[in-house]
Amino acid sequence: MNVQGNYRTMEESPPRGTESRAEMFMVAMDHIQPEKPDVSMGDHDLKQGDKEPENPPCVVSAPTLCPGCYEDLIIPVTNFHNEDKGFMVLAGDVFDVPIRKDIVHRVVRWQLAKRQQGTHSTKTISEVSGTGKKPWRQKGTGRARHGTLRGPQFRHGATMHGPKPRTHAIKLQKKVRRLGLKIALSARIVEGKLLVFEDLEVPTHKTKNIVNYVSQIENTKKLLLVDGGPINEKLKLATQNLHYVNVLPSIGLNVYSILLHDTLVMTRDAVNRIVERMHTPINR
């Protein structure tokens, strides 16, 4: 490219400083010859005598899968007797979401703060027992002046700025709570610690039935059983003396309970109810 000035000789050039920067720039741009881009036409190369198309073809890459799309999972179904009960499809947007520890931490902190009892209370100067009479006269005793013996500086006196009954609960958005439960369920799927049962029916209320089953599961120290509806009375009696086995209905399933147990067992009904709960629109 050649840039040719507008003024040929020094005699033809105007005095220095009389032209503006914009004028000099426009004059220079008028003499720039743009170069044609080298456009490769691939199989459509122009032949001699053909006209160049106005809009040459471009290469478009294949579309990629959107990051918000989840893939459903297929998991086998069994029971306490290790019998094959077929398979079940788990919704990908509930059981296959990305793991985020920060969300789980927020939900657990919200749960523990909400369950904390705020019953702590101390007595103020108006609540503590004692007389309201002035202990001694204002002047002449050589002692410090006082108006009551119920002050915080005296024995059995009041507590200043002490704790009073209050709630420790913190606010957390419903969508964050729901996401925390999805992450906890997805984490158990990734670890291979989520089992689906046809039901939680046990033949008797004997504790040894549950003990024998737990001993068959590898690397299991604490077991959480989740049923869709009310808990079976036989199952409740069989597990009540085992500190490492707990039973919950699907409505009570929460993030903290899932993290507290290393193995999670859910029935078909419980899975369906959890998925339905996760797909229900949030009431604002």
- Counted residue by residue, the chain has a size of 284
How confident is residue 42, by pLDDT bands cut at 50, 70 and 90?
very low
Record the pTM.
Answer: 0.69
The domain ranges of the chain are 73-116+170-279, 118-167
Average pLDDT over residues 2-11: 45
Q: To 5 degrees, how large is the angle CA 212–CA 215–CA 216?
A: 95
Range 119-137 average pLDDT: 93
- Residue 55, both tokens: 């809009």
Residue 139 or residue 68, greater confidence: 139
Considering the chain, what is the average pLDDT of its residues? 82
Q: Cβ neighbours of residue 225 under 8 Å, at least 6 residues apart?
A: 200, 235, 239, 245, 246, 247, 248, 265
The CATH number of 73-116+170-279, from 3.40.1370.10, 3.60.20.10, 3.30.1360.40, 3.40.50.300, is 3.40.1370.10
pLDDT of residue 109: 97
Average pLDDT estimate for 78-93: 90
Q: Where are the beta strands (DSSP E) in the chain?
A: 73-78, 87-90, 194-197, 223-227, 245-249, 263-267
